[in-house]
Amino acid sequence: MLSKFTEKYQPAGVLNLIGGFDAAVLMYAEMNGISAAEFVSIVDSHYVTSETLQAFSPVVHELL
């Protein structure tokens, strides 16, 4: 399912915007053969509003 999603929405491979606990979870999953994904949305606001949550609508509608 994730591979079909990334065919439609290309990930930004040049950006590495995760660190700390999120990065540790992904590294743990990779080392143990567990499927995992991290989704980062770049928006122009620091506040969580309905507009900023719309950036995640493709993830919610197609993956979850």
What confidence tier does 58 reach under pLDDT thresholds 50, 70, 90?
confident
Type of residue found at 50:
S
Domain count, the chain: 1
Above 80 in pLDDT, residue 54? Answer: yes
pLDDT confidence of 29, banded at 50, 70, 90?
A: very high
Is the pTM for the entire model greater than 0.85? no
* Amino acid of residue 46: H
Percentage of residues of the chain with pLDDT beyond 70 = 80
By residue range, what is the domain housing residue 28? 2-62
> In this structure, how many other beta carbons lie within 10 angstroms of the beta carbon of residue 49?
9
